[in-house]
Structure 1
Amino acid sequence: MRVYFTFEPRPDLREPLLTDFPQLDFVFDSGLSNEELQQADILVTYGEDLTEENIQYATKLKWIFVASAGIEKMPARAIMERGILVSNVRGIHKTPMAESMLAHILAIKRALPWMYEQQKKSEWSKKAKQTELRDSTALILGPGAIGSEVGRLLQAFGVTTIGCNRSGKEAAYMDSMISFAQLKEALPNADIVISVLPKTPETTHLLKEEHFVAMKSSAIFMNFGRGNLVDEKVLIQAIATEQIGYAVLDVFEVEPLSSDSPLWSFSNVIVSPHISSHSSRYVERSLEIFKPSLTKWLKGDTDLENVMDLSRGY
């Protein structure tokens, strides 16, 4: 059985795979090759390199392991037509992403961006507008693995957490839950609005102008899910007209963000170039999910961790 990686793990991560699964033929590449794909039974990929044309060559392929949480760039229809099982690494991003979100929140609350600017100007000033995180309210869109982890950290700082998902079904580390239908009514209570929603037809432009109008003028809006959540023109208008106090954006409708986008120039916007999940332990954590799944697969068990429903987009 041939396992084809379209990226090269570090030697210290690669060697245990070869030791633990000596019966398998591993191929580690720095990109996707149709020639190698023709021979692969299992594909390990970040997902963005796979096209519908590639799938035509993957005649032996039975399982795709995606070392990423997002699968929206994959050729879903072609994969489903072939009946190829897809699983991913949902959950491994929760630590770096939650830490990134908390870092941004604390920086804004304690006026760190203002301090950095003062330092650049060599200007001693005590006019910082600092507030406390404690006793504030955070509304978290998509309280799954990542959203629940940031909820846990925020609760430790004395923050009330409101989770929001499609159904309003209970989620970990949320003091209360609402559904998408109740979102507009809940927004006036939120000091911080955080989205970690995936890209689906239902989440596309879920937030509209009326939602930003409903937010506090001092609210911190954070999008760490996918850029389709809000029309960028609507977001820019909300910032320009001071409907919200601050925006922290890790994702955008079109990436990379155009150099002429107004979002670069707002003093109350932080542009994070889709790096909040980056970590030196990323591949390590991916393989911690892949290896137990590979063991199950070799026993004929297809009930793997994080099996994806491509028709739903997650």
Structure 2
Amino acid sequence: MTQTEDRLRVVAAVPLDEELCRLIERIEPRVEMISDPSLVPPMRWPADWEGDPSFSRTPQQQADFEAMVDSADALFGIPDVSPAQLARTVAANPRLRWVMTTAAGGGGQVKAAGLDQDALDRIVFTTSAGVHAGPLAEFAVFGVMAGAKGLPRLRADQDARVWPQRWEMRQVDEMTVLVVGLGGIGAECARRFHALGATVWGTTRSGRPVDGVSRLIAPDEIAQVAGEVDAIVVTLPGTEQTHHLIGEEVLEAVRPGAILASVGRGTVIDERALLAALDDGRIGFAAMDVFEKEPLAQDSPLWSHPSVLVSPHTAARSSKEAERIARRFAESAGRLLDGEPLRATVDTVEFY
């Protein structure tokens, strides 16, 4: 896309309210939004991009859907949130120049499409990374607070109608919190923990300073500092480089009773190593919104572990999510048309 092109034909390849299509056009008048609600599955709840799984297309509807997405300069969402459909569309549509995934971790979907280098060079892929930062940071704060205030103990005493002797709770403003990953989510976590008075450390590969973070840690130094922190907040995407980064080495090095909150991708944490750390008290409490495999298996010990809070990957869910993503899309469309770099581009080497 060059600066001389003043229009962008965008197809909504996932369910998107007509109101939000028009919002995108109002924010960026050079965009023409194309959508057909009859060709995409209806949402079951806000920002349900996959839509109702019982939805199916007739052969003619499938042909119409493919013709629609194949006419696009840019796509709002991956068609059917399916890597296979993305691969088909890329091959069929040489005019396609930009795809914005509705998932913050959309790089994994792009990788799964198995696109060749020519396609990766031709098309800019961006994600909604950062849109979910506020809600996920709130869950991270909630998780650390729940551990600091002894939520499992409070719940057990309440269920048993026991009024115990008073006991000391931990104070967040006396804690050191290590945020693993200082991207959009991590930076928002850091900001909120700093506002609560915590000392905040964070991992970074770039070494760039982040507001509220007093110490920057290289990713390969996490085990070396794990024994110096009171809580670890994991915000990283799931890549080959981050797989089981929080594993046996780190979890053996933590300060006994450390709190863990996970809001990135579940594959970053080795759940077997985590269970061992929970069982012997190295991890005193874990608030988990994401897991290695989802839904969490019925026989997973995490369900019933007294020191674990299980959240079904729902911490980012918000009635405002779709609007936030639509606004991000409109802003990015303007940047694309003006020849400016886009935010949250997918690294097509590591796919995050």
TM-score, L = length of structure 1? 0.89
Aligned letter for 1:63?
W
Counterparts of 1:52 and 1:223 in 2: how far apart (Å)? Answer: 29
Aligned to 1:27: 35
Aligned to 2:144: 105
Return 5+ residue gaps in structure 1 as ranges. Answer: none
Counterparts of 2:244 and 2:30 in 1: how far apart (Å)? Answer: 48
- Structure 1 residue matching 2:190: 3-state secondary structure: helix
Given that residues 68 and 90 in structure 1 are in contact (C-alpha distance below 8 angstroms), is that contact kept between their aligned partners in structure 2?
A: yes
- Worse-matched range after superposition: 203-212 or 72-81: 72-81
Deviation at residue 263 of structure 1 after TM alignment: 0.6
Aligned to 1:13: 20
Deviations 1:40-82 (A, max 9, x none): 3221116871323542344142210112210212335416432
| Within-5 A mapping of 1:191-210 | 191-210=230-249
Q: 1:176 to 1:145 in 2, by over 3 A?
A: same
Deviation at residue 230 of structure 1 after TM alignment: 2.7
Given that residues 31 and 333 in structure 2 are in contact (C-alpha distance below 8 angstroms), is that contact kept between their aligned partners in structure 1?
A: no
Deviation at residue 265 of structure 1 after TM alignment: 1.0
Aligned letter for 2:104?
A
Q: 1:278 to 1:80 in 2, by over 3 A?
A: farther
| Within-5 A mapping of 1:45-194 | 45=77, 49-58=81-90, 59=93, 60-71=95-106, 72-74=108-110, 75=112, 77-78=114-115, 80-82=117-119, 83-127=122-166, 130-194=169-233
Aligned to 1:310: 348
Q: 1:79 to 1:293 in 2, by over 3 A?
A: farther
Counterparts of 2:30 and 2:130 in 1: how far apart (Å)? Answer: 28
Q: 1:16 to 1:168 in 2, by over 3 A?
A: closer
Aligned letter for 1:78?
L
Deviation at residue 128 of structure 1 after TM alignment: 5.3
Counterparts of 2:78 and 2:167 in 1: how far apart (Å)? Answer: 43
- Structure 1 residue matching 2:217: 3-state secondary structure: strand
Q: 1:123 to 1:79 in 2, by over 3 A?
A: farther
- Worse-matched range after superposition: 53-62 or 263-272: 53-62
Q: How many residues align?
A: 313
- Worse-matched range after superposition: 67-76 or 267-276: 67-76
Aligned to 2:10: 3
Matched, 1:231 2:270: yes
Deviation at residue 25 of structure 1 after TM alignment: 4.6
Counterparts of 2:69 and 2:241 in 1: how far apart (Å)? Answer: 33
Q: 1:23 to 1:252 in 2, by over 3 A?
A: closer
- Structure 2 residue matching 1:278: 3-state secondary structure: coil
Counterparts of 1:303 and 1:217 in 2: how far apart (Å)? Answer: 45
Deviation at residue 141 of structure 1 after TM alignment: 0.7
Aligned letter for 1:70?
G
Q: 1:43 to 1:137 in 2, by over 3 A?
A: same
Return 5+ residue gaps in structure 2 as ranges. Answer: 1-7, 42-49, 51-64
TM-score, L = length of structure 2? 0.80
Matched, 1:36 2:68: yes
Q: 1:80 to 1:275 in 2, by over 3 A?
A: farther
- Structure 2 residue matching 1:238: 3-state secondary structure: helix
Given that residues 79 and 86 in structure 2 are in contact (C-alpha distance below 8 angstroms), is that contact kept between their aligned partners in structure 1?
A: no
Deviation at residue 89 of structure 1 after TM alignment: 2.0
Deviations 1:242-263 (A, max 9, x none): 2211111111111111011011
Aligned letter for 1:27?
S
Given that residues 2 and 27 in structure 1 are in contact (C-alpha distance below 8 angstroms), is that contact kept between their aligned partners in structure 2?
A: no
Counterparts of 1:166 and 1:47 in 2: how far apart (Å)? Answer: 33
Deviations 1:102-135 (A, max 9, x none): 1222222223443334333444445555221121
Counterparts of 2:153 and 2:116 in 1: how far apart (Å)? Answer: 49
Counterparts of 2:263 and 2:26 in 1: how far apart (Å)? Answer: 37
Aligned letter for 2:109?
K
Deviation at residue 298 of structure 1 after TM alignment: 4.1
- Structure 1 residue matching 2:125: 3-state secondary structure: strand
Q: 1:167 to 1:303 in 2, by over 3 A?
A: closer
Counterparts of 1:169 and 1:19 in 2: how far apart (Å)? Answer: 35
Given that residues 47 and 68 in structure 1 are in contact (C-alpha distance below 8 angstroms), is that contact kept between their aligned partners in structure 2?
A: no
* Bigger relative contact order, structure 1 or 2 (CA pairs below 8 A, ≥6 apart): 2
Given that residues 55 and 79 in structure 1 are in contact (C-alpha distance below 8 angstroms), is that contact kept between their aligned partners in structure 2?
A: no
Aligned letter for 2:32?
L
Counterparts of 2:176 and 2:78 in 1: how far apart (Å)? Answer: 35
